Structure 1
Amino acid sequence: MKKVFVSSTGAQSGQSLAAWCIAEIYNSRGFRIGFFKPFITRPILQNGQVIDKDALLMKRYFNLTEELNILSPIISEGIPGDEVVREEQLSRIEQCYEMVKKDKDVLIIMGAEKIFYDPESPYLPDGILVNKFDAPVVLVDRFQNESMSMYSILAIDSFLKDKVKIVFLNQIPLEDMETVYNKLIPFFQKRGTPLLFLIPKDRILSSLTVKDIVDLIQGEVLTGESRLKNLVESTSISSTHLKGSLYLFRQIYNKIILLGLETEDLNSPLLSPKVTGIILTGGRRPAPVIVNTCGDVGVPLVISPFDTFVTMEKIQKQQVHIKENDVYKLKRFIQLLGGETAIQKIINEI
């Protein structure tokens, strides 16, 4: 059985999407996929049970048979400095590991949010688990600058004794891509390992859907239910975006315009943002002509029970976390890696 450990240098790096990507690469080639995330780091409550969002995604998408408390078993409470607690955690991890690897060809093991040792972290360091499972590492680094990324990669690779085989350097601003390519790619090519992939900051990967926002604000959809998969990359209270039939909305003040790509435009990410939804705030229902106008042009119209300020605040504070329905993000991530050529390199390396 092949094992792959997916780790990260910090929060919001794209680790979850990277783990999904690696799993799908092998799944698409007929391998039986398993998933294991020892610690619950993205908790949600389901049927009175604390579960992990990543484990839920993988279970649903890959139809895994194991229970969620086996796929991600440890709810860490406090700092695991106590040797007794640590041994209990390792014992439970080993027990669940034996169950999740059964009858699998490839097991994706996902670490906590950052691989660096943190004395304040409630999780066992990823380095302990990497060595325990003796697994090659795919490292995800959220780009900040060339020097910091180079230092992080080299330090982690040295600490893990050359177990880092692949690095996804993620969310690189487009204006920095050429500089990063010219500086880092030759350096790591000369060194030999790890294999480095540069992934630019991307509007599709960072977007929410209209459905995400409806759920977030506890909104009511008046029209456009079939267009709730439209993407939202920004919001506006300005009426300058309202053209054609939507000009009517310039007369309404308590509104938020959602801007992004429509589902049919996902293969054309260079297109300018469109109006992909309109939110009316304050809980007041609009006149029928307003609802009918949105229905005629196919733009979702949503009522928020909150005022404009609170609604905007909820949207802007929301962190994007992938779900099993976000297959378009999975496909986009693989595309940004380099498609089939990149897939073959990844398989050959790990």
Structure 2
Amino acid sequence: MTHTTLVTSIQESTGKTAITLALGLLAQDGDETVGYMKPKGTRLQSNVGKTLDEDPMLAREVLGTDAEMHQMEPVVYSPTFIEQAIRGREDPDELREIVAEQFEALAADTDHMFVEGGGSLTTGGIIELTDDEIAELIDARVVLVATYEQPGDVDDVLAAADRLGDRLDGVVFNLVGEGDHDELENDVVPFLEGRGVPVHGIVPRKQDLAGVTVGDLADELAAEVVTDVPTDEFVERFSVGAMGADEALRHFRRTRDAAVITGGDRSDIHTAALEAPGIKCLILTGGHRPPGAVVGKAADKGVPILLVRTDTLTTVDRAEEVVRSGRTRDAETVEAMRELLADHADVEGLLGH
């Protein structure tokens, strides 16, 4: 009898892929044969006319499975597909049947199937295939991945738990900042468990999993690096320098692990950014070279300057995409997550043992 675990999340970008695959590795450590499926492909990159989701491709590499892509990802949940579904050109019953068939085929020779949800718990409602509906269809127990920044986030956890009902096996809090850990452990977890929602782990935010290095960012943005300083600092967020210099300095001082994106001709903003300790690099747009004094000051402070030809808005979009898809998409990240779960979660509970 195959054991099935579906990993879902309240919102996107919570580390769901890394957790799903790390659980697969942990199950393999326990000598289980493992399969993977992501019924709705949502992280799409167009690939020679076929749209492939990056997560099943990573699953093949990490878990060593030789399943076909169309089995692992039976529904390509692309913008075009969604438009067609809204126009009534996709039959939910037919799609359910396809998902069930492919699941059966993949589960046939495995001890434990790991099924990754769509973008979030409610993705797929248009075709009546939200993650809770999929769990029902393939008889899965569900692990819910949540993040935590403030007590109000518990509302979302309770709503998701309510929706999943008896299928919910437990919650894993991921990407938890140091400052939030104690509140979660001492107040939130006992509260949730008192409401019948088990918590299987509190996984800390690890910077090398949460951000990208300045060097990686430069490569991805095809930027010219005009300073000769190390580029191994991590960037997690971006600050756009579009205000006056005094206001910019106040704003930059409040942010950490950030890159400032601004026009190459705004030397007042460049100077303000170089005064703030949390700014890890400057990304200057529009192909303008900054004045020599700015480059000299950046070199003294050890802050890299990246030069790109695109305008500020395009650069912000691309940079955020790089950080969002970040490092969670490689085997190294999954390995790091396996260790984090082993240290900070009840692995036996998560695997349903």
Q: 1:36 to 1:228 in 2, by over 3 A?
A: farther
Amino acid aligned to 2:26: I
Equivalent residue for 1:38? Answer: 39
Unpaired segments ≥5 residues, structure 1: 239-252, 257-271, 286-298
Equivalent residue for 1:260? Answer: none
CA distance in 1 between partners of 2:329 and 2:121 (Å): 28
Q: Does 1:205 align with 2:206?
A: no
**Stretch deviating more after TM superposition (53-62 or 83-92):** 83-92
Deviation at 1:311, TM superposition (A): 4.3
Deviations 1:116-150 (A, max 9, x none): 4886x46622121111111110101232532442x
Q: Please tell me whether the aligned partners of residues 5 and 108 of structure 1 are also in contact (alpha carbons under 8 angstroms).
A: yes
Q: What secondary structure does 2:210 align onto?
A: coil
CA distance in 2 between partners of 1:66 and 1:215 (Å): 32
Equivalent residue for 2:113? Answer: 107
Equivalent residue for 1:95? Answer: 101
Deviations 1:170-195 (A, max 9, x none): 33443232222221222344456423
Deviations 1:285-314 (A, max 9, x none): 9xxxxxxxxxxxxx9997745477864663
Amino acid aligned to 1:152: D
RMSD of equivalent CA atoms: 4.6
Equivalent residue for 1:171? Answer: 175
Amino acid aligned to 1:9: I
Deviation at 1:39, TM superposition (A): 0.9
CA distance in 1 between partners of 2:124 and 2:90 (Å): 19
CA distance in 2 between partners of 1:73 and 1:8 (Å): 20
**Stretch deviating more after TM superposition (299-308 or 130-139):** 299-308
Between Structure 1 and Structure 2, how many residues are aligned?
Answer: 322
TM-score (norm 1): 0.70
- Aligned ranges for residues 143-154 of structure 1 at < 5 Å? 143-149=148-154, 151-154=155-158
Q: Please tell me whether the aligned partners of residues 166 and 349 of structure 1 are also in contact (alpha carbons under 8 angstroms).
A: no
Deviation at 1:202, TM superposition (A): 3.8
Q: What secondary structure does 2:319 align onto?
A: helix
Deviation at 1:320, TM superposition (A): 1.9
Q: Does 1:141 align with 2:146?
A: yes
Equivalent residue for 1:50? Answer: 51
Q: 1:319 to 1:85 in 2, by over 3 A?
A: farther
CA distance in 2 between partners of 1:273 and 1:204 (Å): 16
Q: Please tell me whether the aligned partners of residues 55 and 72 of structure 1 are also in contact (alpha carbons under 8 angstroms).
A: yes
Q: Please tell me whether the aligned partners of residues 19 and 338 of structure 2 are also in contact (alpha carbons under 8 angstroms).
A: no
Deviations 1:239-258 (A, max 9, x none): xxxxxxxxxxxxxx8xx9xx
Q: What secondary structure does 2:140 align onto?
A: coil
The structure, 1 or 2, with the larger RCO (C-alpha pairs under 8 Å, 6+ apart) is 2
Q: Please tell me whether the aligned partners of residues 203 and 344 of structure 2 are also in contact (alpha carbons under 8 angstroms).
A: no
Q: 1:142 to 1:22 in 2, by over 3 A?
A: same
Amino acid aligned to 1:85: D
CA distance in 2 between partners of 1:215 and 1:302 (Å): 10
- Aligned ranges for residues 298-309 of structure 1 at < 5 Å? 304-306=308-310
Deviation at 1:197, TM superposition (A): 1.9
Deviation at 1:317, TM superposition (A): 5.2
Q: Please tell me whether the aligned partners of residues 57 and 323 of structure 1 are also in contact (alpha carbons under 8 angstroms).
A: no
CA distance in 1 between partners of 2:58 and 2:161 (Å): 29
Deviation at 1:204, TM superposition (A): 2.4
Equivalent residue for 1:10? Answer: 11
- Aligned ranges for residues 1-350 of structure 1 at < 5 Å? 1-76=2-77, 77-78=81-82, 79=85, 85-116=91-122, 121=126, 124-149=129-154, 151-190=155-194, 193-210=197-214, 212-219=216-223, 231-233=234-236, 304-306=308-310, 311=315, 314-316=318-320, 318-321=322-325, 326-337=330-341, 339-340=342-343, 342-347=345-350, 349=352
Q: 1:55 to 1:284 in 2, by over 3 A?
A: same
Amino acid aligned to 2:140: A
Amino acid aligned to 1:107: M
Unpaired segments ≥5 residues, structure 2: 242-247, 249-266, 271-276, 290-302
CA distance in 1 between partners of 2:98 and 2:160 (Å): 26
Q: What secondary structure does 2:169 align onto?
A: strand
Q: What secondary structure does 1:162 align onto?
A: helix
CA distance in 2 between partners of 1:305 and 1:283 (Å): 4
TM-score (norm 2): 0.69
Q: 1:167 to 1:219 in 2, by over 3 A?
A: same
CA distance in 1 between partners of 2:30 and 2:215 (Å): 32
CA distance in 2 between partners of 1:134 and 1:182 (Å): 33
